[in-house]
Amino acid sequence: MKTYRIAVLVAAAVLCVSSAHAQKPKVVILATGGTIAGAALKPTDPGYKSGAVGVDVLIDAVPQLKDIADVSGEQIASIGSQDMNDEVWLKLAKRVNELLASPDVDGIAITHGTDTLEETSYFLHLVTKSDKPVVLTGSMRPSTAMSADGPLNIYNCVAIAADPQARGRGVLVLIDDDIHSAHDVIKRHTTDVATFTSGEAGLVGVSLFGAQTWYRTPAQVHTAKSEFTIAADQATLPRVDIIYAHANMSPDLITAAAVNGAKGIVIAGVGDGNMTAPAWTELQRVAKEGVVGVRSTRTNGGITRRNIEVNDDQGGTVASMELNPSKARVLLQLALLKTSDAKKIQDYFNRY
Ligand code: DGL
């Protein structure tokens, strides 16, 4: 009888362990560098080296991750995100889609610098071919800092990637307990921990120590429903330059962008996507030569619509709608893989 009882207890223990392990979602962390992987000499040192710490160190620094998910890590890059480039974007997109195609993977968490996080997240928002959660995070203080914000951001990021309710909301960004859509999030402050905002669109949700409250699902087209695909042999993206408008703006930089191979130009316009008359004349001229011009706004707020103070129909230009200049550049790069027809590109800007 005693042997039987021991056998039952051992079987129960094995079942508990295996069922607990079996119940945890599989989340893969893809690391690219940034401040979240940064290191300084002292906890109060404002200066630091970005991307100095590897993904395994980041995971080991948050032992509580194993309570919420079956986590593994891969190092995609180790760069400050000011150096983010097409090569890393394409490598990241291909790896995300490869992992999410596996039934064993429930979600992806990506650690990234905050400088260009709004661009990388929106790029993935447009080319990820799954509705499983893809969640990016970063930090404003290095991993070695007093009150480092990275560990809790990683914990919440993985919790969202493991959350079935995160599915179908597009690529998300978690920073400082806030859950943003990749479509709307922008960095608005050089050093503030709460540096990200989603403006008029607002948050998708919030996360408190890994427990999410959801507010909305973004309306625009994204991820599994997107028409944009990264081919296996895609090695580069079309060159698109952003030119900042200002008082007394010269047309020379527009000319220079076209001469240097830009296939598209985004104007970070004053007000509602405006620029000086000489600049507008030059943008229309290069449009006739096949360089697609998109009018966005340097204000980082509001919607830049067609034919308000200038006539886009006559100018052959595109209005960026809700997209700020950095996101308009991403959508224009992908649109140019399909067409250089301004009317077809405007349709993409109206829907994505
Ligand atoms: N070098 C910047 C970057 O990697 C630091 C900013 C940060 O990650 O918070 O984006």
Q: Which of 32, 35, 120, 128 is catalytic?
A: 35
Distances (CA, A) of 303 to 22, 69, 123: 47, 39, 20
Global pTM?
Answer: 0.93
Dump pLDDT digits (tens) for 73-111.
Answer: 999 999 999 999 999 999 999 999 999 999 999 999 999
Task: Evaluate if residue 199 carries a pLDDT over 60.
Answer: yes
H or E element that contains 339 = none
Confidence of residue 268 (pLDDT cuts 50, 70, 90): very high
Expressed in angstroms and rounded, the spacing between residue 179 Cα and the centre of ligand 1 is 19
Confidence of residue 8 (pLDDT cuts 50, 70, 90): low
What's the rounded Cα separation, in Å, for the pair 68 and 77? 25
- Judge if the beta carbon of residue 217 lies within 6 A of ligand 1: no
| End-to-end CA gap in the chain | 68
Q: Single out the residue of 278, 263, 283 nearest to residue 335, CA to CA.
A: 263
What's the rounded Cα separation, in Å, for the pair 151 and 36? 8
Note the pLDDT of residue 52. Answer: 80
What is the CATH architecture assignment of 240-351? Answer: 3-Layer(aba) Sandwich (3.40)
Task: Evaluate if residue 213 carries a pLDDT over 70.
Answer: yes
Is the CB of residue 113 less than 8 Å from the CB of residue 121?
no
**DSSP alpha helix (H) spans, the chain:** 2-23, 55-60, 65-68, 86-100, 117-127, 150-161, 252-259, 277-288, 312-315, 325-335, 342-351
- Judge if the beta carbon of residue 111 lies within 6 A of ligand 1: no
Task: Evaluate if residue 71 carries a pLDDT over 60.
Answer: yes
What's the rounded Cα separation, in Å, for the pair 138 and 36? 5
Nearest atom in ligand 1 to 50's CA: 1
Dump pLDDT digits (tens) for 307-346.
Answer: 999 999 999 999 999 999 999 999 999 999 999 999 999 9
Task: Evaluate if residue 22 carries a pLDDT over 70.
Answer: no
Residues of the chain with CATH 3.40.50.1170: 24-225
Dump pLDDT digits (tens) for 115-146.
Answer: 999 999 999 999 999 999 999 999 999 988 89
Confidence of residue 300 (pLDDT cuts 50, 70, 90): confident
Instruction: Determine which residue's CA is closest to atom 1 belonging to ligand 1.
Output: 80
Task: Evaluate if residue 12 carries a pLDDT over 70.
Answer: no
Residues of the chain with CATH 3.40.50.40: 240-351
What's the rounded Cα separation, in Å, for the pair 88 and 81? 10
What's the rounded Cα separation, in Å, for the pair 130 and 170? 9
Q: According to CATH, what is the number of the domain 24-225?
A: 3.40.50.1170
Nearest atom in ligand 1 to 51's CA: 4
Per the DSSP assignment, residues forming a β-bridge with 72 are 28
What's the rounded Cα separation, in Å, for the pair 182 and 203? 11
Dump pLDDT digits (tens) for 143-187.
Answer: 888 999 999 999 999 999 999 999 999 999 999 999 999 999 999
Q: What is the mean pLDDT of residues 203-232?
A: 97
Q: Single out the residue of 49, 91, 86, 50 nearest to residue 74, CA to CA.
A: 91
Instruction: Determine which residue's CA is closest to atom 8 belonging to ligand 1.
Output: 113
